[in-house]
Structure 1
Amino acid sequence: MGNSVAALAAATPTGRDRYVDLLRVASLGTVVLGHWLMAAVTPQGMGNLLAVVPALQPLTWLLQVMPVFFLVGGFSHALSYRSLARRHPDRSVYAAFLRARLRRLLRPTLVFVLVWTAAAGALQLAGGGGGLTGAALRMITQPLWFIGIYLAMVALTPPLLRLHERHGWGAFAALAAAAAAVDLLRFAAGVPYVEFLNFAFVWLAVHQLGFLRADGRLTRPGLLAGLGLAGAVLLVAFGPYPLSMVGMPGEKVSNMAPPTLALLAHGIWLTGAVQLLARPAAGLLRRPRVWRGVVAANGIAMTGFLWHLTAMLGVYAAQLGLGLALPEPASAAWWAQVPPRLLAALALTGVLVAVFRRYETPGLPRSGPATGPAPATGPATATGPARATGTGSGSGSGAGSAPRAALGAALCLFGVLGLSMTGLGGLFEGRTAVLVAVPVTAPVAIGMVLSGWLLVERWAGSGTVRLRG
C-alpha cells in the first residue's frame, strides 16, 4: 500500500483542490470519533453520553459534520458528471456515471451487510441475540442511513445539476424553502409523515452548496457562516428544535431523523466555516508527508467508517470477557478509561480495515490519484482539470439503461435506509421498522440492496468508465 500511496500522491495534478480530499477524511473521522465518545455502554445496555450529560450537547455543533461530507459530495459529483458528459456529448452518460459512482460505495457496504447478517443469524440460531448482544445487533447498522442518503445524491445529481446551472443560488433557495415548508406543515399543521420529505430537501440543499463551490460561487464564506449560525441559534432558541444536532434516545423531536430546518442552518454555517479555513489548509497540504497521509486515508475512509462501530463493540466485549468493570458513564472511572478505549478501538479498526479494504479499492487506476474530486478554483470549464477516462461504451452508456440504473439506485437507497432502521436483531422474528410509512423487515431490506446492486452493476450495462473525482 505504501508504494501505491506514494505513487498516487506524486501524480497529483498541481492544480488539484487538495482541501476537498482533506474535508472528506476529516468529516468521516470526526463522525467516527463522535460515535466512540458518545457510546455509553453498561452491562445492562447501551445509552448515549449526551443524554447522561446534557451539558455536553453543544459539542454536537462541532462534532456533527456530516453536512461537510455531503458538501464535498456535491462538489465531486458536479465535476465528475460534467467531465464524463464532455467526453461523451453524443450519448446518455447517466447509467455510466451512476454505476461508476456507486461501485466504490456499494461494494464495501454489501460486504459489511453480508458479514454482519451471517454473524447475526448464527448468533440468533444459537439462542443468542438478547440483552446487550441484541442491542448491539440493532445498533450496528444505524450509520448506514448516511450511505442511503448519499446514494440518493448520486442518483439525483444530473437533474439537480441542470437546475443549478440554470438557477444557481435559486436552486439552493428552492430546496431550503421546501425544507422550511415541510417543518411548517409538520409542527404547525401536524401533517403526518410529511417530515420524511426533509431527508431529501435538507440533505440535497447541502449537496447543492457543493455545486456552488465547484463553480466558485461561495465567495463570502464569512457571511454564509454568520447567517447559518444565527439561523440555527434562533431556530433552537425560539422554535421546536432540540439543542443537540445528533439524535438522542427517547426524544420527541430530533434534528437528525428526520432532518430539520435547524440542521440545514447548521450545515450552512459549517459550509462557511470550512471555506474560511481553505487558505491556511492549502499551505499545509502542499507538504508531501501531509498529502500522502490524506491520500492514504481517502483510500480506506469508507471501510473505516463501516467497521468503526464493530471495533468499538469489540473493545467493550473484550472488557466484559476479561472481567473488567464497565464504570457508570460520565463517572471519573469512565472518563479515565476513555483514552485507552479509544486507542484500542482505533487499533481494532485498523485490523478490520486491513481485512476488508480490498473491497473499497479492488484495483488502482493506471494514472493519477482517485482519492477525491478534481480541483475547482473557479467556474468549471471544458478545459478544466476534472477528467474521466474509459470507453463509456456498451449498453451501460445508452439511454435505455438509465431507467434500470435509476431503479437499481432507488432499491439500494430504500434497502440501506430500511436496514439502518431495523438493525439485525430479530432476523427470524419479523421485526419491522417504518420506512416512509411502510413497514419493512431486515431480510426485505437486504433483498432490496442486493437486487439494486445487480441492476446497477450487471443489468444497467456492461460499459466501463473511470471517473476522476
Structure 2
Amino acid sequence: MNTSVPRHRDLTLDLARVVCVLVVVFVHLLLVSVGRNPDGTPFIINPVSGQRWFAPATWIAEIMPMFFVVGGFAARVGWESAQRRGETASTFVRTRLRRLALPALPLFIVLTVALIIVSAIGVEPGLAGAIAVPVGSVLWFLAAYALAQALAPWMIRWHEHNPWLALVVLFAGAFFVDVVRLVVGIQGLGLGRIPAEGYGIGDELFGLPNVAFVWLFAQQIGFCLRDGWFSRVRWWNLVLIVAGFACLGLLVILGEYSASMLTNQWPPTLPLAVLAVIQAALLTLLHRPLTAIMGTKPAQAIVFFLGSRLMSVYLWHVPAIVLLTGIQLLWLPMPDPGTGAWWLTRPLFVVAVVVIVWAISSVTRRWESPQPILSPRWPSAAVTTIAVAVFIVQSLAISSYGLDLPLAILGLACTAAAVILTGGSHADDGSSATASPAEEVPPPPR
C-alpha cells in the first residue's frame, strides 16, 4: 500500500477518526449480547449498562463529539481550498452531501429488501423490531453530519466575524432546548415523566433542535482548533480537560442529565457540547505522541486502509454485529454475557466485524469513492437545499421512531433523491473525490 502523504498533512486527525469509529464498534459490541436460557431458548441482553462503572466509562467512550470537531477542522480547510478554486457554497455543500448519501444508498437498499423479506415470511414483529431498531439507531449521524457540512460555509463566515458570539449563541441554544425538554418532561403534556436515568422517549422530539445547536457548537470548536486556539498555551489544555469534566459532573448532579453520555447522545444534550471542548483539548495535548505514532509506516498503513472505508465501517458495523449474533446463535458456543469468557470474546468480535465490513466494502467501496461531478445535473442552490433537506429528514425520522419497513422505504427514497439531485457528469480520468475529510489538513499552528 502506498502510504506517501503530503508533507503538511496532519495525520493525527486521520488517526482520531479511525480510533473514534473503532471505539463506536467496540461499545456497540458491549451493549448487546445473546445467551441461552436453561431450556435452550435464546435471549438478548445488555450486560453492561447496569454496571456501576459503565456510566463513568462513557465519559471517555462517548467520542462522537470528536467526529464533529475534526469535521469542523476539515470543513474549514476544505472551504478555504474551495474558495481558492472559485467554487460556490452550493458546489461545496453538494460535494459533501454526495459523500454521505452515496455510501448510505446500498445500506438502505439492503435494509429495505431485508425488511420486505422479514414481513413476507411473517417473522414475529417484536423480534424484527429488536433487530431493526439497533441497525437504524446509528443513522442519526447522517442527519447531524449532513446538517453540519451543509451549513459549514455560513458557520465559517460567522466564526471569522465573531467566533465568541457563535460559541455563546450555540451553547446557550443547546441549554435552552434542554430546559424546554426538561419542563415538558416534568409537566407531562401527555408525554410522561423523565425517568431517573435521564430524559425519556416522550419528550424526545423537543430535543431535536439540539441536533443543530450541539453539533454546530462542536463544529465551531473544530474551527477554533484549526485557528490554533488550543495550541497557543498548551498547559491550558489540561486545565480545560479538568474543568470540562468538573462541568460534566455539575450538569449530572445539579441538572436532569443522565450520568451516561451515551444516553445524552440522542437527541444530543449540553454535556456533549462540553465533551467537544474536552476532546479538542485532549487531542491537542496528545498531538506530539500521536504524531510520533503516525510517523511509523505500519500505523499509516492501518489508518489509511481503515480511513478509506470509514463510512462503510460506520454504516455497516451494526448489520455485521447482527450477522455475527445470528452465527453465534446457530453454530458457536455462547459464554454467559458479562462473564470473563464473554469479555475475552469482545476484541475478537471487533476484528470479526471489521473483516465482515471489509468484505462488504469491497462491493460498496465505489459508492464511498464518488468521482468528482464536473457538470452538475441541477447546479442551483435551491436544488442543493432540497437534496440536503430530504436526506436529513429521513435520518431524523428513523432515529426518532426506530427503523421499520415504511421508514426504510422512506430512507431509500430520500437517499436516492439526494444522490440524483447532486449527480451529473463525472470526471473522465477516473479520479476520485474519496479522500478523507482530513486529506489536505495541515498541522495545527504551533
> What's the offset of the Cα at 1:422?
4.1
Equivalent AA in structure 2 for residue 291 of structure 1 = Q
Q: Which residue among 420, 437, 446 is the counterpart of 2:399? A: 420
> What's the offset of the Cα at 1:188?
4.6
User: Unaligned regions of 5+ residues in structure 1, if any?
Assistant: 248-254, 364-389, 431-440
> What's the offset of the Cα at 1:309?
1.2
Deviates more, 1:270-279 or 1:288-297: 288-297
Q: Which residue among 192, 198, 214 is the counterpart of 2:226? A: 214
- SS of the aligned residue for 1:334 comes to helix
Distance change (3 Å), C-alpha of 1:70 and 1:29: same
Is 1:99 equivalent to 2:78 in the alignment?
no
Deviations 1:402-426 (A, max 9, x none): 121011111101112223344443x
Distance change (3 Å), C-alpha of 1:448 and 1:358: closer
> What's the offset of the Cα at 1:44?
5.3
Is 1:360 equivalent to 2:368 in the alignment?
yes
Deviations 1:52-93 (A, max 9, x none): 4243221111111011111111011111112111221xxx61
Equivalent AA in structure 2 for residue 27 of structure 1 = C
Matching residue of 2:199: none
Equivalent AA in structure 2 for residue 38 of structure 1 = L
Contact 1:404–1:455 under 8 Å retained in 2: yes
Alignment of 1:21-420 (within 5 A): 21-42=14-35, 46-88=44-86, 93-128=88-123, 130-188=125-183, 193-219=205-231, 220-247=236-263, 255-322=264-331, 324=332, 326-362=334-370, 401-420=380-399
**Aligned positions, number:** 407
Distance in 2 (alpha carbons) for counterparts of 1:336 and 1:463: 48
- SS of the aligned residue for 1:163 comes to helix
Equivalent AA in structure 1 for residue 255 of structure 2 = G
Distance in 2 (alpha carbons) for counterparts of 1:213 and 1:152: 20
> What's the offset of the Cα at 1:332?
4.5
Deviations 1:317-353 (A, max 9, x none): 112112x454543244533543444443343233223
- SS of the aligned residue for 2:258 comes to coil
Percent identity over paired residues: 31
Distance change (3 Å), C-alpha of 1:226 and 1:46: same
Distance change (3 Å), C-alpha of 1:391 and 1:358: closer
Distance change (3 Å), C-alpha of 1:395 and 1:445: closer
Contact 1:179–1:202 under 8 Å retained in 2: yes
Contact 2:48–2:338 under 8 Å retained in 1: no
Equivalent AA in structure 1 for residue 316 of structure 2 = W
Matching residue of 1:252: none
Equivalent AA in structure 2 for residue 271 of structure 1 = A
Distance in 2 (alpha carbons) for counterparts of 1:82 and 1:224: 28
Distance change (3 Å), C-alpha of 1:75 and 1:34: same
Contact 2:29–2:350 under 8 Å retained in 1: yes
Is 1:444 equivalent to 2:442 in the alignment?
no
Distance in 1 (alpha carbons) for counterparts of 2:400 and 2:369: 28
Equivalent AA in structure 1 for residue 243 of structure 2 = L
Distance in 1 (alpha carbons) for counterparts of 2:19 and 2:242: 22
Deviations 1:245-290 (A, max 9, x none): 103xxxxxxx122211122212221221121111111122122332
**TM-score, scaled relative to structure 1:** 0.79
Distance in 1 (alpha carbons) for counterparts of 2:27 and 2:421: 35
Contact 2:58–2:260 under 8 Å retained in 1: yes
- SS of the aligned residue for 2:94 comes to helix
Matching residue of 2:193: none
Equivalent AA in structure 1 for residue 172 of structure 2 = A
Equivalent AA in structure 1 for residue 65 of structure 2 = P
Deviations 1:374-399 (A, max 9, x none): xxxxxxxxxxxxxxxx89666766xx
Matching residue of 2:10: 17
Distance in 1 (alpha carbons) for counterparts of 2:363 and 2:124: 25
Equivalent AA in structure 1 for residue 230 of structure 2 = L
> What's the offset of the Cα at 1:132?
3.5
Distance in 2 (alpha carbons) for counterparts of 1:57 and 1:112: 31
Matching residue of 2:195: none
**TM-score, scaled relative to structure 2:** 0.83
Distance in 2 (alpha carbons) for counterparts of 1:339 and 1:213: 32
Contact 2:147–2:392 under 8 Å retained in 1: yes
Contact 1:409–1:456 under 8 Å retained in 2: no
Distance in 1 (alpha carbons) for counterparts of 2:83 and 2:72: 16
- SS of the aligned residue for 1:128 comes to coil
> What's the offset of the Cα at 1:47?
3.8
Equivalent AA in structure 1 for residue 382 of structure 2 = P
Contact 1:19–1:285 under 8 Å retained in 2: yes
Distance in 2 (alpha carbons) for counterparts of 1:295 and 1:189: 46
Deviations 1:16-47 (A, max 9, x none): 11111111111111111111122233465544
Distance in 1 (alpha carbons) for counterparts of 2:128 and 2:158: 47
Distance in 2 (alpha carbons) for counterparts of 1:327 and 1:17: 42
